[in-house]
A and B are shown apart, each in its own frame.
Chain A
Amino acid sequence: MPVNPPTVVWVPLDAAAKSVGADEVAAAIVAEAARRRLPVTVRRNGTRGMLWLEPLVEVETAGGRTAYGPVAPGDVASLFDRGFLAGGAHPLGHGRTEAIPYFARQERVTFARVGLTDPLDLAAYEAHGGWRGLRNALARSGAEVVDAVTRSGLRGRGGAGFPTGIKWKTVLDTPADRKYVVVNADEGDSGTFSDRMVMEGDPYLLLEGMAVAGVALGATQGYVYLRSEYPDAERVLTAAVERATAAGFLGASVLGSGKRFDVEVRRGAGSYVCGEETALLESLEGKRGVVRYRPPVPAVAGLFGRPTALNNVITFASVPFVLDRGADAYRDLGVGRSRGTLPFQLAGNVARGGLVEKAFGLTLRELIEDFGGGTASGRPVRAVQVGGPLGSFLPASALDVPLDYEALAGKGGILGHGGVVVFDDTADMARLARYAMEFCAIESCGKCTPCRIGSTRGVEVIDRLVAGDRPQRQVALLRDLCDTMTHASLCALGGMAPLPVTSALDHFPEDFGLAPAGAARDARRS
C-alpha cells in the first residue's frame, strides 16, 4: 500500500491568532485527523496579517496554500467532512491565500516571510532569502554598508522618520572603546502591532538587521528593549537568539568573520515614555525611564555613554532587504522623501483590521475603505487617529490624504509608526481629547514641567469646558496650554500630546459644547 506523505496544515501562533483561539483550533485539527486516521502535520506560522480572518488555517495543496477562516474548534469536523485537506470548498474557504485581494494588493517587502514560515525554523529562513543581507554586509566595509542604507532612503520607522543612514554614519564616525546596537521594541502606540508581528513571525529578520548594524558599525553587543505587554514576542525572540547564536549567525564570530555580535532581550516594565529613545536608554541602564537632554544624541553618547545605533524594530527589519537587493530596489518604492514601504496597521472600529504593507503614497481612504471595508459597526467613519496616542484626529473629510511623512504633516498630522485607528460616529471626541491629556499625565516621566503639570491641567480645563463653565475662556486657556506643551516640552510625549487635543477641538468643537466647526469659521469671518 502506498504511504501518502502527511498533508501540512498551518495554524498561526501569533498572539492575535491565539487570542481568538488558534491553539485550540490546532489541537482540534490534530485530534480530528487522528480520529479519522488521516496523515496530517500541523505546523505553526506567523500571521498573514488578515486579522479579521484569524484563526486563519492554511492547507498545503497541489494548487498552493489554501485558506480557511475564521476557524473555530467547532468548525474542524466540517472542514474534514468537506475535504479541506485537498482544498475542498467550505463556507469558511477563501481560496488560495495569496490571491485574497487584501493580501494580493500589498507590497510585502519587510513582511515577505511573515506568515509563510515557521518563525523559528532557521533552514526556512535561509531558504527564503535569509542572511543574504548579512553576508553582503560582511563582504563590505562599514562605510559601504552605511552608504547603502543612506542611499536606500530608509527613515526611522518608529515615528520620527530620521534618516537611518545618517544616524549610523554618526555611530561609525564616533571613536569609542565600545559601541552598542539597541532595538526600540517598546511599540506602545495604540493601534500598532507591526513590531510584534515581525518579532513573533520572523524574528531572525530583526536579528539579521541588528547584526548588519553590529558588524558594520563595530558594535559587539545588541539589546532588544521589548515591552512587557508582549510575552509571546519575548518567548519567540529569546528562542531565536539562542538558535541563531548556536548556529553561528550571532555570537563570538558572526558567520565565521571573527566579528563578535551578541544579542540580549531585555523586558521593559509598562512605561510608555520608555519608547522615547533616551528614556529607553536610561531604563536599559537600570534607572527610572526619565528623558535625557539632547545633545548629545545617542549616536554619539547613548547606552552607558557609548555611541549607540538605536532604531525601531521595523527599521532594523528593513535593512536586510537593502543589503540583499540593493539600495536602489528599496528606493524605487515610495513617493517624495518617503522611500520604501511602510507596514500600515488598520485597527480600532474597522471591519477588516490587519497589517497592510504598501509603498508610501496610498491614501487613508484606500486603506480604510478598500482594505478595511469601513467600520466594524457598519456606521459612518467619524474620525481617524493616525500615528498613535500622540497623533492628530483627522475628520472623515480628510481621508484623501496620501500616507507619507510630508503629506500628513501638511494636514497637521503625523504618520508615526503607521497605526491607523478608526472611530465611528458614536465616538465622543471631547472624551478622547481628555483621554489624550490623561494618558500624558499617567505616562509623563516628570522631568519637564510643561508635560508633567500641563497634562494634568489639560484634563481639568477640558472638564470645565465640557461642563460649560465659561467655555470661550477655557478654549483660550487650553490652546495656550497646548502651545506651551508643544514648544517647551523636552520630548515628544509632552510635545505632541496636544495634537489629538487641538485636532479634536478644531474638527469636532460640537463635542465640547461649542458651535460646530463651520459655524465657528463663519462667526470669525463676520
Chain B
Amino acid sequence: MAVSPPPLPLPADLAQVVESALAAHAARPGALLPIFHAIQDRAGYVPREALPRIAWAVNQSQADVLGTLSFYHDFRTHPPGRHVVKLCRAEACQARGSDAVVADVEGRLRVGMGRTREDGAVTLEPVYCLGNCALGPSAMVDGRLHARATADRIAALVEEAPPCR
C-alpha cells in the first residue's frame, strides 16, 4: 500500500524546487547528490524541512539522507548571502600569497571565513583548489573563476556584480 508523502512545510516556490528536483532525479541510481545539487543550484541551499520528503522519495531513512547531506562541504542548510565568494586555501595558492589575501578579504568584506555577513550581502567560504594553480591566488565569485585575486578586486566584484540569483 502506498504511503502518502510526508508534508513539505516550505514556501511554495521552495517546495516547487524540491518537487522538481525529486521528479527529475529520485529514480536515478545513487540519487542523493544529484537531488541536493539540483535543489541548491536553484535555491542556494537545501532546506532541512525538505529532508523527510527527500527520504521518502528515495526510500531511505532520514538519518541516511542527513548523513549524506552533512558529509559534503558544498551543501548548505541555510541560505547563503547574495554573493558567494570562495577563496582557495590550498598550497599552490599559499605559495602565491593567499594567506594574506584571505586576511585582507575578511577585513574588507567584514565577514569571517565560513560565515555570511549579518546584512546577508556576502558569504565567504574556503575552497581547496580551483585548478588554477599557476595563476593564484584563486577565487570563485558567484560561480566565476578569478586569477591573481586581491582584496580590492574581490570587493569590487561583490559591490558591482548583480546578485547570483
For residue A193, which residue of chain B has the nearest CB?
A: B131
- Residues of chain A within 8 A of B74, CB atoms compared: 228, 268-270
CB-based contact A422/B133 at 8 Å? no
- Residues of chain A within 8 A of B155, CB atoms compared: none
Within 80-113 of B, Cβ neighbours of A (below 8 Å) are at 88, 90-96
Q: Size class of A's contact patch?
A: 35 or more
A18 to B72, CA, bound (A): 27
Partner of A376, one of B31, B73, B96, B127: B96
The verdict on A347 contacting chain B, using a C-beta distance below 8 Å, is yes
The verdict on B17 contacting chain A, using a C-beta distance below 8 Å, is no
Interface of B, helix, strand, loop or mixed by DSSP: loop
The verdict on B37 contacting chain A, using a C-beta distance below 8 Å, is yes
- Residues of chain A within 8 A of B138, CB atoms compared: 19
Within 179-216 of A, Cβ neighbours of B (below 8 Å) are at 187-193, 195-196
- Residues of chain B within 8 A of A290, CB atoms compared: 71
Contact (A51, B34) CB under 8 Å given A18-B145, A271-B73, A348-B96: no
Most buried by A among B73, B133, B146, B148: B133
The verdict on B130 contacting chain A, using a C-beta distance below 8 Å, is yes
Partner of B129, one of A189, A289, A376, A427: A189
Question: How far, in Å, is B85 (CB) from chain A's closest CB?
Answer: 14
Q: Size class of B's contact patch?
A: 35 or more
Contact (A229, B95) CB under 8 Å given A18-B145, A288-B71, A347-B134: no
- Residues of chain A within 8 A of B130, CB atoms compared: 229
Surface stretch bound by B, among A128-136, A243-251, A279-287: A279-287
The verdict on A52 contacting chain B, using a C-beta distance below 8 Å, is yes
Question: How far, in Å, is A425 (CB) from chain B's closest CB?
Answer: 12
- Residues of chain B within 8 A of A267, CB atoms compared: 33-34, 37
Partner of A284, one of B30, B94, B131, B133: B30
CB-based contact B133/A419 at 8 Å? yes
For residue A18, which residue of chain B has the nearest CB?
A: B145
CB-based contact A270/B133 at 8 Å? no
Contact flags A325-360 to B (C-beta < 8 A → 1, else 0): 000000000000000000001111110011000000
Partner of B90, one of A20, A284, A389, A427: A389
- Residues of chain B within 8 A of A445, CB atoms compared: 71
The verdict on B29 contacting chain A, using a C-beta distance below 8 Å, is yes
A507 to B140, CA, bound (A): 34
A187 to B88, CA, bound (A): 15
Interface contact tally, CB-CB below 8 A: 154
The verdict on A272 contacting chain B, using a C-beta distance below 8 Å, is yes
CB-based contact B133/A347 at 8 Å? yes
CB-based contact A269/B67 at 8 Å? no
Partner of A190, one of B34, B129, B147, B148: B129
CB-based contact A435/B94 at 8 Å? yes
The verdict on A16 contacting chain B, using a C-beta distance below 8 Å, is yes
CB-based contact B91/A348 at 8 Å? yes
CB-based contact A349/B145 at 8 Å? no
Contact flags B136-156 to A (C-beta < 8 A → 1, else 0): 101010010111100000000
The verdict on B157 contacting chain A, using a C-beta distance below 8 Å, is no
A189 to B30, CA, bound (A): 25
- Residues of chain B within 8 A of A288, CB atoms compared: 67-68, 71
CB-based contact B71/A191 at 8 Å? no
Question: How far, in Å, is A333 (CB) from chain B's closest CB?
Answer: 24
- Residues of chain A within 8 A of B64, CB atoms compared: 287
For residue A289, which residue of chain B has the nearest CB?
A: B71
- Residues of chain B within 8 A of A304, CB atoms compared: 29-30
Within 25-77 of B, Cβ neighbours of A (below 8 Å) are at 29-34, 36-37, 58, 64, 67-68, 71-75
CB-based contact B75/A353 at 8 Å? no
A16 to B92, CA, bound (A): 14
CB-based contact B131/A350 at 8 Å? no
For residue B40, which residue of chain A has the nearest CB?
A: A269
- Residues of chain B within 8 A of A283, CB atoms compared: 33
CB-based contact B135/A19 at 8 Å? yes
CB-based contact B94/A187 at 8 Å? no
The verdict on A503 contacting chain B, using a C-beta distance below 8 Å, is no
CB-based contact A435/B134 at 8 Å? no
CB-based contact A190/B127 at 8 Å? no
Contact (A16, B95) CB under 8 Å given A270-B73, A286-B31: no
Question: How far, in Å, is A261 (CB) from chain B's closest CB?
Answer: 17
The verdict on A508 contacting chain B, using a C-beta distance below 8 Å, is no
For residue A23, which residue of chain B has the nearest CB?
A: B144
Most buried by A among B58, B92, B93: B92
CB-based contact A346/B94 at 8 Å? no
A191 to B132, CA, bound (A): 8
CB-based contact A353/B133 at 8 Å? yes
CB-based contact A190/B33 at 8 Å? no
Within 355-406 of A, Cβ neighbours of B (below 8 Å) are at 376, 385, 389
6 nearest CB pairs, A to B: A353-B134, A190-B90, A348-B95, A347-B133, A269-B72, A270-B73
Q: List 28 A-B contacts (CB under 8 A).
A: A15-B145, A16-B132, A16-B135, A19-B135, A19-B138, A191-B91, A192-B129, A193-B134, A196-B131, A228-B37, A228-B74, A229-B130, A231-B143, A232-B145, A268-B33, A269-B75, A272-B128, A286-B30, A286-B58, A288-B71, A353-B134, A376-B96, A419-B92, A419-B133, A421-B133, A435-B94, A442-B128, A443-B128
Please give 18 more A-B residue pairs, beta carbons under 8 A apart, in addition to A267-B34, A286-B68: A189-B129, A192-B133, A193-B131, A195-B131, A196-B131, A229-B129, A231-B143, A266-B30, A271-B71, A286-B33, A287-B32, A287-B68, A288-B68, A289-B71, A304-B29, A347-B92, A348-B92, A353-B133
Residues of A within 8 A of B (CB): 15-16, 18-20, 51-52, 54, 187-193, 195-196, 228-232, 266-272, 283-290, 304, 345-350, 353-354, 376, 385, 389, 419, 421-424, 427, 432, 435, 439, 442-443, 445
